[in-house]
Structure 1
Amino acid sequence: MSSAVPVLDFGSMTQVIHFLMEIDKLKSIQRRTKVIGTQRQENSAEHSWHFAIAAMSLAPYASKEVDIQRVIQMALLHDIVEIDAGDVFVYDLAARAAIHDQEVAAAKRLFGLLPEPQCEHFTALWQEYEEGESADAQFATVLDRSMPMLMNLHNEGQSWIENNVSLEQVLARNGMIANIYPELWQYLFRHLQDAQRKGWLK
């Protein structure tokens, strides 16, 4: 007895494909960090991929409360709003606060291209990441903050030097890592101090 063939909803599929083509624009959003060993700026899509791989790779070090599959999803979704709102330098706190409403509107527009329940699911993941209160969101935030630091530590402080960033700024902005992932912070802190001695940080 053959099983019934599912009826395809081409309307919903069209919505998904529209979303996929729209988020291709994330590849054109440039960040301050350059791809290691090149003079080309990293784009936000590349950062999201790197962040997702970091979640997979560092999964053994996460607490047992963390669902790495959800962290990976947050990594891939978290910067999609930059298509409309643009990228803001992590140490420009005033600009980050000012752009919040634009990011919320961007999430509504972009995830709104999807049919339900995907729209609701993607929006909820993005909001959870932004609020940063769950174990998954906190681990995701740790990785998102760590990746640019690691890139700079392996790129002779490139974006720190170009943007006149101090060790104090880096510690103040990223010190929360010590509470969530102390082993990683110990690694970073030691190398950040070394980066200052090399002149990569003020």
Structure 2
Amino acid sequence: MKEKFKQMMEVIHLSEKLKYELRHSWLSNGRQESVAEHTWRLSLMAMLVGPHLEREVDTLKLLKMTIIHDLVEAEAGDIPAFDTQNDQQAKELKEQNEEQAILNIRELVSGEQGAEWYHLWHEFEAKETYEAKVANALDKLEAQIQHNEADIDTWLPIEYDMSYMLGRHTQFSPVLDQLKDVIEEEADKKIRQSTRSG
């Protein structure tokens, strides 16, 4: 078992990189957010929202997905969606780097557990199952919540528009659509206040 624990430690050490891999989001205290912080709150949101969804959700699977989905960024780095939105070459490079990272993670974790993580990551990316759709929607909603909490001076011009595009991620779920409305209202209020004061 000692050898197995040593292997687990390799995965745990890899995950430490997510504590210092920074996202494009900023915190309300003016510090840049780490990937690990985003993942933690996304998982908290899954626990809070899960019981209120209109369909039964596999909570354990949902939590595993939220925890695993950004683990590839320990190797591939965090690349904001808007950096690849209109750049097919950048999008393909990101996909290749993340695919290689999840292959490496599958080997590192190994066995049935490695295979499960690999499949859960791909399921999240495909956005076809109910759990994957919920996880993806919450991922986008958490990012907007963080933007709403940050100083608006940290927002990029594209992020003003993106504040009103969350519906494409939540439209499959009336419950998540309602949550999206609350988050968009917060964004709209922040934008209007900055316009008045600016």
Report matched runs for 1:1-202 at 5 Å: 9-36=1-28, 38-92=29-83, 93=85, 94=87, 95-160=90-155, 163-172=156-165, 175-180=168-173, 181-199=176-194
Higher helix share: 2
Q: Gaps (5+ residues) in structure 1?
A: 1-8
8 Å Cα contact 2:124/2:136 also seen in 1: yes
- Indicate the SS of the match to 2:105: helix
Corresponding residue SS for 1:199? helix
Which structure would you say has the larger Rg?
1
Give the partner amino acid of 2:75: D
CA distance in 2, matches of 1:84, 1:174: 31
* Greater RCO (CA < 8 Å, at least 6 residues apart): 2
Note the alpha carbon deviations across 1:147-190, whole angstroms, 9 max, x for none.
12112222243542xx2225433334653223332211221233
Question: 1:62·1:139 contact (CA, 8 Å) conserved in 2?
Answer: no
CA contact (8 A) 1:26 1:44 kept: yes
Q: Deviations over 1:32-82 (max 9, x none)?
A: 21222x222111111111111111111222232321221111111111111
Q: Please give the alpha-carbon distance, in whole angstroms, between the structure 1 residues aligned to 2:122 and 2:93.
A: 17
Residue identity over aligned pairs, in percent, reads: 23
- 1:119 deviation in Å? 0.5
1:55·1:143 contact (CA, 8 Å) conserved in 2?
Answer: yes
- TM-score, normalised relative to structure 2: 0.85
Instruction: Report the TM-score when normalising by structure 1.
Output: 0.84
The alpha-carbon distance between structure 1 residues 102 and 120, as it changes in their structure 2 partners (threshold 3 A), is: same
> Which residue is 1:6 aligned to?
none
Whether the aligned pair in 1 keeps the contact of 2:163 and 2:184 (CA below 8 Å) is: no
Contact 1:91–1:169 under 8 Å retained in 2: no
Match of 1:5 in 2: none
- Contact preservation (8 Å) 2:123, 2:129: yes
CA distance in 1, matches of 2:121, 2:154: 26
Retained in 1: the 8 A contact 2:30–2:151?
Answer: no
Shift of the 169–98 alpha-carbon distance from structure 1 to 2, 3 Å rule, reads farther
State how many pairs are aligned: 189
